[in-house]
Structures are given as C-alpha cells and as structure tokens.
Structure 1
Amino acid sequence: HTHTHTHTHTQKYTNTRWRLINQRCLECCIKCLGGIPYPSLIATILLYAGVALFCGCGHEALTGTVTILQDYFEVVRSPVDSLDVFTMIDIIKYVIYGIASAFFVYGILLMVEGFFTSGAIKDLYGDFKITTCGRCVSAWFIMLTYIFMLAWLGVTAFTSIPVFIYFNIWNICQNTTVLEGASLCLDPRQYGIVPIAEARTMCTGSEKFYRMCESNELDMTFHLFICALAGAGAAVIAMIHYLMVLSANWAYVKDACRMQKYEDIKSKEEQELHDIHSTRSKERLNAYT
C-alpha cells in the first residue's frame, strides 16, 4: 500500500512538472510570436518574391533576346569593345546580379529594424530604451526606402519597354494568317538595337519570320518579360508597404520616447520628494533627540 501511494504521488508530481513546463513553453512561444513584426514580415516576403521574379525572369528573358537577335535578325556582336546591344544586355545582367544581392541584404536589415522597433515599443526584451541613434536609424530607413521605391518605379517603367516591343512582334505573328495580303516588317533600327546604317529588316513573307513566330524562344521570352514586369511591380508594392510600416513605427517610437522622458522626469521628482521627506524626518528625529 505504501509503495502504491508513493508511486501515485510521484506520478502526480511528474504530471504537474510536465504541465508547468508545457505552460512555460506555451507562454514563451506566445511571447515570441507576439514579438514578430508581421507587417515587416509580409513586406519582406513580397519584396523577396518580387526581386526574385524580376531578376530570374529578366535574366532569362535577356538571354532569349540575345538568341533571337543572333538567330533570326542576324545581328552580330561587335568585334571591338563598343557599346552595342549585346554589351548593354551584359551590363543589365550584371546590374540584375547586384540588385538581387543588394535587396537580399536590405530585406534582412529592414526585418531586423522591425524586430528591434517592435521590441522597443512593446518592451518585450526587458529594459529596452529608445535612443536617439535608434530614431535616426528609423528616419534613415524611411528616406532610403522612399528612394528605392522611386528607383523601382523607374525599373518598372523600363521593363515595360521590352514587353511593349515583344507584344508588337507577338501580335504580328498572331495576325499573319489573318492579313495574308499585307506585308508587315520588323526593323530593329527603330528601337535603337542596331545602328541606322545596318539593315536588319525582317518581313512577314520571309522564312525566317515564320521560323521565329513558331519558335519557342519568342513565346518564352515574351512571357518572361511579363513576369519580370510583374516582379518589379511587386517590389514597388513592397516598398510602399515598407514605407507605411516604417512611418507607423516612427510615430510609435516618437510617442514611446515622449512617454519615456515623462516617466524619467516623474521618477526623478518622486525620488526628490522621497529624499526631502527622509531628510525632514531625520531632522525632526534629531531635534526630538
């Protein structure tokens, strides 16, 4: 009987101990989940998705453009180091590499800033004080994000140009069977792709035109440029989302800073009153003695 009683007591103690551990783990998880800046997280995911879509699809679309120019328009790379269309495409590819790496780091920085700002506002990490440096960092991120938003607007406008060009080519390819009597030609000189002196015109009646329309490169490159345009638009929306989040955090930090100053002044006044009261009590005690 004593053995059974001891076993029951031990089991109750173990169950209580596990219940307390689970409760503490649950409280810790709730606290961690409460400290996650969800608006910044959503904006970061949108930014990464947009940048990945723009960089990946843009890079492959430029590679497809090089193939189309070389195979169907018979544009050759300049032997000297001049600024021709192929050199421009190579430069844009390197810019894409830089954009991908830069915004990967920038998304991490904005996410970290969101964590620290949320922690400072909600006081989740103990005695977390808002410093002047922290407010300067928040203001700097707002200015930088606004500049990047304008830059992404320019990138979106620039990406719409090849989408428009490829839409015209794709539209002519779709309507060649309808307009059999019409002779439509594509001249890359009007887009500044080749110099004016070089004639690389391709008309609808030629065999190269039909091969280009039936090829997979044209259709794939056109849709890749559309996806790149969608990615640039998503990056613009992410920048606008970040601006709203950073502006709201700035306002919260400003209010929290004022409240922090008020609490400091109040605690100092209470300490002074306490010191005065203690001094008078000591003086009365001395006088009585």
Structure 2
Amino acid sequence: MGCFECCIKCLGGIPYASLIATILLYAGVALFCGCGHEALSGTVNILQTYFEMARTAGDTLDVFTMIDIFKYVIYGLAAAFFVYGILLMVEGFFTTGAIRDLYGDFKITACGRCVSAWFIMLTYLFMLAWLGVTAFTALPVYMYFNLWTICRNTTLVEGANLCLDLRQFGIVTIGEERKICTVSENFLRMCESTELNMTFHLFIVALAGAGAAVIAMVHYLMVLSANWAYVKDACRMQKYEDIKSKEEQELHDIHSTRSKERLNAYT
C-alpha cells in the first residue's frame, strides 16, 4: 500500500460527526468557562466599587461566597468535559473501526453495545444539565441588561431619577439595603466605566457558549444513537453470517457423507 492509499484509509476511519461535535463542545465549554469566570470577577469588582459591598467575615454565605463557588464549578466543568469529549471521540473511533472491520478479525462484543448505550444515557443527562446552565446564565444577562438600560435612559431623559435595588434580584437580604440611583456619583461613574459594558458582554458570550454546548450534546446524541443502531445491525448481520456459514458447512458435510455412502454401495 502506497502513502496516498494509506492516507485515504486513515482519513476514511475518522469519525467526522463526532469530531465536529467535539470541536463544538470544546468551543462552547471554553467560551462559557473563560468568559463566565471573567464576568464573575467583574461582578465582584462592580459590587465592591460601586455598590460599596464588602465580604463578610466568617462562614456566612453571602454573594461573594456564592461567586467563589460558581468559579470552582466552572473549573470542574472545564476539566470534566475536556475528558468527556476525549471519551466520546474514542467511542466514535471504536464504532467506526467496528463497522469497517466487521468482516475481518475484529468482533463486535456485547460490551461495546453496552458502552454505547451508557454514553447515550450519560450524554442525555448532560444535555439536560447544560439546559439548566443555559437558563441560569440568562439571569445575570437579564440583570445586566436592566442596568445597562437604566444607564442608557439617564442619557436620553434629563432629570430622570431611576434606582436599582439589589434586593429585587436576591443578591442581598431584605433587611440590607443596597440601592444605587442615577443621581448618585457612583452610578454615573459606573455607567461611564468600561467595566460594566465588558462584564455585560462577557455574560452574553458565556450564554452563547452554554448554548453551543447544548447543541453539541444534541449532536452527540444523534451520533451516538446512529452508532448504536449501526453496531446493533452489524451484530445481527454477524450472527446471520455465522449461522449461514454453519448451515453451509453442515450441508457440505451431509453431501460429502452421502457421496461416500453411494461410492461404498457402488463398490
């Protein structure tokens, strides 16, 4: 086999559908984790600088502690789905090789079908989880959109006194008033700064990344379902070929036995 034929054979064994889904998954997770982490850091700066909030001492579960927890969750998501994407690519190569080498020395086992079914169930659960993550990421986008709208309205309407109370979004408790109005200096400095605009757009990109991860999970579900069906049909075909070969061998043995009996009777 020449070099060109070898390259064509290698390219033919690549699971392109799984490869596209993996690239989309990595891109979506990278956007969500990277932009989400930076957006959370920007949110901490905005709360401390313009809303004059400070971290509480002790083990009190405040908004800053929740943001730190979300950051650790982002670290875990990045590591987990990096490994999961590799596993799905390996499963794609395994299934492609199983289909192409069906009539060779390679045998499809029941374990391979169980692994494919397990990946289908796991990917379905991950798709539901990413749907929840996407819906949750839409909340800060909505909050920052309201804040950005208030900043824009102050430049369009003179003398308008608009306020934003963090208690409306559950960031602080009811007894703690953290309100910022358009007539305050902190509000004007926040609207003029690039930090608010950057954090808002980072949350939008993180939301887009979560949506891309959902699309990748749906793509994986289609690929895994098709691969499982192909493997199942291939197993049935393998069993049919084995039974057919066995019957042909039995017929050949019967025919040989009868020929020998006739030859013995003639002699």
Considering the TM-score relative to the shorter chain, is it more than 0.5?
Answer: yes
Mapped partners of 2:24, 2:103: distance in 1: 28
Tell me how far apart the structure 2 counterparts of residues 31 and 41 of structure 1 sit (CA, whole Å): 17
2:102–2:108: 8 Å Cα contact kept in structure 1? no
In structure 2, the residue corresponding to 1:229 is in which secondary structure? Answer: helix
Q: CA deviation at 1:191?
A: 0.9
Structure 1 residue aligned with 2:178? 200
Q: Is the 8 A contact 1:35 1:124 kept in 2?
A: no
Equivalent residue for 1:253?
231
1:89 is aligned to 2:67: yes
Number of aligned positions between the proteins: 267
Counterpart selection for 1:62 from 29, 40, 46: 40
| Structure 2 gap segments, 5+ residues each | none
- Provide the residue aligned with 2:30 in structure 1: 52
Answer yes or no: is the 8 Å Cα contact 2:102–2:234 preserved in 1.
no
Distance 1:203 1:219 in 2: 18
Secondary structure of the residue aligned to 2:155 is: coil
CA RMSD of aligned residues (A): 1.5
Ranges in structure 1 where 5+ consecutive residues have no aligned partner: 1-22
What is the CA–CA distance in structure 2 between the aligned matches of 1:62 and 1:204, rounded to whole Å? 24
Q: Partners in 2 of 1:285 and 1:215 — Cα distance?
A: 104
TM-superposed deviation, 1:275: 2.1
SS at match of 1:186: strand
- 1:1-289 → structure 2 map (5 Å cutoff): 24-123=2-101, 126-287=104-265
8 Å CA contact retained: 1:119, 1:125: no
> TM (normalized to structure 2)?
0.96
8 Å CA contact 2:102–2:238 kept in 1: the answer is no
1:287: Cα distance to partner? 4.9
Larger Rg over CA atoms: 1
Q: Look up the match of 1:13.
A: none
User: Structure 1: which amino acid aligns with 2:29?
Assistant: V
Aligned partners of 2:32 and 2:60: how far apart in 1?
27
**Partners of 1:254 and 1:120 in 2: how far apart?**
11
Secondary structure in 2 aligned to 1:202? strand
Identical positions, percent: 84
TM-score (norm 1): 0.89
